[in-house]
Chains A and B, each alone.
Chain A
Amino acid sequence: MKLNVNGVEHALESGALTPLLHVLREELGVTSPKAGCQSGGCGACTVLVDGEPRRSCLTPLGAVDGAEVTTIEGIGDAHDLHPVQEAFHTLHAAQCGFCTPGMIVATVALLKRLPQPGRREIERALSGHICRCTGYVKIVEAVEAAAGGSR
């Protein structure tokens, strides 16, 4: 099977039912998607599959054969932060940082689809993402700031 991860093509031997999360973390060494629950409940493993946010823990490899997968590594790095990353950093929307890659990936997809989301759209887009540290207050502020900055 083939997978394009952050612009790099990989040929994989894993079985079709292997979770994408396992492939990314254990086979390709891409550790930004986190194994928070491995049952689709926390959102910490979220990646973009052909631009759409997906729970990589519930996504079998066979369902994404040939797809383009984007993790947060493909969105921006320390030398070139994406505006969403910048907003999460400067507004303290990442406390422990464990849910953060999934939150940011989902936010990037939201802003691509809806550059100026209302409060309700932000809540909908991130409602499957658990954060125990922030109470979500600064996360909402960061998403709104990133959307404002992209205007």
Chain B
Amino acid sequence: MRAVGARVEKVDGIGHVTGQTTFVDDWRIPGMLWAKVLRSPHDHAAITKLDVAPALAVPGVRAVITHEDVPKNVLGHLEGLGVPADEPLLAESDVRWKGQPIAVVAADSEEAALAGVAAIGVSFEERPALLDVRLAFEADAPKAHHWGNWFPHFGGPDTPPDHRKIRKGDIDAAFEQADAIVQGVYRPNAIEQMPVEPQVCACVPESNGRLTIHSCTQGVYFTMGIVAGHLGVPLNRLKFIAGTVGGGFGGKVESWTEPVVALLALKTGKPVKLRFTREEEFLCTSTRAPWHIEIADAVTSDGWILGRKMLTLHDAGAYARFSPYGVTKHSFHIAGSYAIPNIHFDGYVVFTNRTPTSAMRGFGVTSVSWTIETQMSRIASVLGLDPYEVRLRNASRIGDTTPNWVTLHDPSSVPVIQAAAEAAGVELTADYRTMTRDPRSGDLLPEWLEGQLGDLDAKES
């Protein structure tokens, strides 16, 4: 092999180091209008008045759109995965987070667009806001979402249950059998994806009726489908110019600018560009979720994990977006790199009045790693065991199963932990240094792990 495995330089790298790579903001489009967004100043409020006429009187303003201009305003981005539509492209009767978009103005310049936004007549009646997931379940908690304060569709659009569950083995028996139970609370906070290129989109209406959309999306056909859905047009009306993006980290899965500029381009008949300010990036776009996780591990005095009970509250913010997907992904990985025979997990997607959260690098699993690896360190500390060895003892081996009963054919937790110890100059005892990931037998197959073994010969359909 020559190409694969080689330290080939980027095929587009010369463009990067000479400043000639064309990002969305770099397309020169004659006659282009700029768009700016009217956003909610409140965490939670009813919209009692929305009058765009004054904006249209501002010099340079060409068009304003509100929810009334969107052919399909409430569109589910993950309906195919069982997440029903809940979020409007532009707010209708209420706003549920500070920064929620209400109207968008297109004008000859950014200044005129901002003046147009400022001229829109809008008033609100504030409502109590829910801002702590732990308080969402109280009887008198503010109501953050029309479905209630947590996502109710985990069996599908119309079916219970209202949270994601893992039930594997018998957690009560594990607690009973354990020599020790180690319990903790973990709260990895939200962070912003923070690519240096902000969200930016430009749309050019073509003479043949098509729309050319310059997009920084991370998933071109995904976003094209969303534009087609909001506008009610077939895919061949749209041409996306995309694929070269100034960093994403999950934030540019959000597909909001594209349908908005497309609607404004249709309404004005002119090219329109919308580029988020850094403040909008930080305050108004999806972030990673903050998570609240409680965990109790049943362990033996020599460090075997017999069982794990876990409660996860995922802060979805004001709308579902990808959060149900994230919690399901989270649930599959709550055992991490280890074989845990008894698991009891309840994971709630909790609605609050914060900015909706969504995809970010490590989606659903960053929170697991933070939680369960600190648990592993605590277990080692409480029991007086070596942190490498307690991990190697429990590490997944060929033939083990995950919390969702996937049989592992190729786990490499044992070799990576051994390699980390070596790189760190940590001397493992002989048993752990020579350990392999081979299927369990002997001392590595205690009775409590027998029931979790998978069938390595089963052919997947």
Contact = CB atoms under 8 A, between A and B. Distances in A.
Contacts of B246: 34, 96-98
Secondary structure type dominating chain A contacts = loop
B247 A92 contact: no
Interface string A78-92: 100100011011101
Interface stretch (B13-21, B335-343, B362-370, B421-429): B13-21
Q: Which of A41, A81, A85, A96 has the most CB of B within 10 A?
A: A96
Interface residues of B, number: 30
Q: How large is the interface on A (under 10, 10 to 19, 20 to 34, 35 or more residues)?
A: 35 or more
A34 B19 CA distance: 9
A71 interface: yes
Interface in B168-227: 193-198
Contact of A85 (B18, B275, B277): B18
B14 A89 contact: yes
Interface string A13-35: 00000000000000001011111
A133 B193 CA distance: 11
Contacts of B346: none
Nearest to B109: A26
A48 interface: no
A53 interface: no
A98 B196 contact: yes
Contact of A100 (B16, B193, B198, B277): B16
A89 B17 contact: yes
Interface string A58-101: 00000000000001110011100100011011101011111111
B17 A96 contact: no
A132 interface: yes
B245 interface: yes
B19 A72 contact: yes
A135 to B, nearest CB: 12
B167 interface: no
A22 B107 CA distance: 17
A42 B196 contact: yes
B28 interface: yes
B15 A97 contact: yes
Given A39-B278, A132-B195, A133-B247, A101 B9 contact: no
Contacts of B15: 78, 97
Nearest to A103: B17
Given A38-B277, A39-B278, A96 B195 contact: yes
A35 B275 contact: yes
Nearest to A91: B9
A125 interface: no
B37 to A, nearest CB: 16
Contacts of B247: 95-96, 98, 132-133
B20 A98 contact: no
B447 interface: no
B10 A44 contact: no
B448 interface: no
Q: Which of B13, B198, B275, B277 has the most CB of A within 10 A?
A: B13
B16 A94 contact: yes
B249 interface: yes
A136 B20 CA distance: 22
Contacts of B17: 72, 81, 85-86, 88-89, 94, 97, 100, 104
A140 to B, nearest CB: 16
Contacts of A92: 9-10, 13
Given A78-B14, A132-B249, A71 B9 contact: no
Contacts of B249: 132
Contacts of A72: 17-19
Contacts of B10: 89, 92, 94
B457 interface: no
A31 B292 CA distance: 44
Nearest to B13: A89
Given A36-B278, A78-B20, A132-B247, A44 B196 contact: yes
Nearest to B249: A132
B277 A78 contact: no
Contacts of A94: 10, 13, 16-17
Contacts of A106: none
Interface in B1-47: 9-10, 12-23, 25-26, 28
Contacts of B14: 78, 81, 89
Q: Which of A76, A86, A97, A131 has the most CB of B within 10 A?
A: A97
Contacts of A38: 277-278
Interface in B254-285: 275, 277-278
A97 B195 CA distance: 11
Contacts of A34: 23, 25, 196-197, 246
A37 interface: yes
Contacts of B193: 132
Interface of B: 9-10, 12-23, 25-26, 28, 193-198, 245-247, 249, 275, 277-278
18 contacts: A32-B20, A35-B275, A36-B197, A36-B198, A78-B18, A86-B17, A92-B9, A96-B16, A96-B197, A97-B13, A97-B246, A98-B195, A98-B196, A98-B197, A131-B196, A132-B195, A132-B196, A133-B247
Given A96-B16, A97-B15, 6 more contacts: A38-B278, A73-B19, A76-B18, A86-B17, A92-B9, A132-B194
The 6 lowest CB-CB distance pairs between A and B, nearest first, are A32-B19, A97-B16, A98-B246, A37-B278, A101-B19, A72-B19
